[in-house]
Amino acid sequence: MNTIDIHEIKRHLPHRYPFLLVDRVIEYIPGEHLVSIKNITYNEPQFIGHFPQRAIMPGVLILESLAQSTGLLAFKTATKLYSSQELYYLAGIDNARFKKPVEPGDQLKLKVTLIKHKRNLWKFFGKATVDGELVVSADIMCVNQELPQ
């Protein structure tokens, strides 16, 4: 079973604290799927204001965790590392559904499945679960492009 630790994640993704939202990859098959983990802790900056009376992980950050997982799968599928001369970014989200709140102490299990890859466009289906219960699902499109010189 293929895994990726935080050190390798940082070689594939340009994100850093507080926006690196994948802690570990527990399984992947290039060209097929990837399963990652995001541990939710009360120390994260979004919980100061979302919400003070009861901390809830913002849905857009769960979607971002899924999108970062797609980046890891794309780079493993294309067998290359992130390059500062290229951006891999979110191009679209369709059919996003939020089923249950995520709170500090939860562990998100993020599974992304590659649906289609053509040239620089990637399409995935992603779902996030906590303790086996679906919390978020979405169709995610990403694109990679070289930066202008």
Please give the structure tokens belonging to residue 90: 């979110």
Domain coordinates in residue numbering, the chain = 6-146
Weakest-pLDDT range from 29-33, 65-69, 75-79, 109-113:
75-79
Report the chain's mean pLDDT, rounded to a whole number.
95
For the annotated catalytic residues, the residue numbers are 50
Decide: helix, strand or coil at residue 79: coil
- Quick one: pLDDT band at residue 130, thresholds 50, 70, 90? very high
Predicted pLDDT of residue 42: 95
Predicted pLDDT of residue 96: 98
User: C-alpha angle 40/36/135, rounded to 5°?
Assistant: 60
Q: Of the candidates 33, 55, 58, which has an alpha carbon nearest to the alpha carbon of residue 112?
A: 33
* 42-80 pLDDT tens trace: 999 999 999 989 999 999 999 999 999 999 999 999 977
Contact indicator for 140, 93 with CB cutoff of 8 Å: yes
Predicted pLDDT of residue 85: 84
Asked whether the predicted pLDDT for residue 91 surpasses 80, the reply is yes
Predicted pLDDT of residue 146: 86
Predicted pLDDT of residue 79: 79
* 1-23 pLDDT tens trace: 899 999 999 999 999 999 999 99
CATH H superfamily, domain 6-146: Hotdog Thioesterase (3.10.129.10)
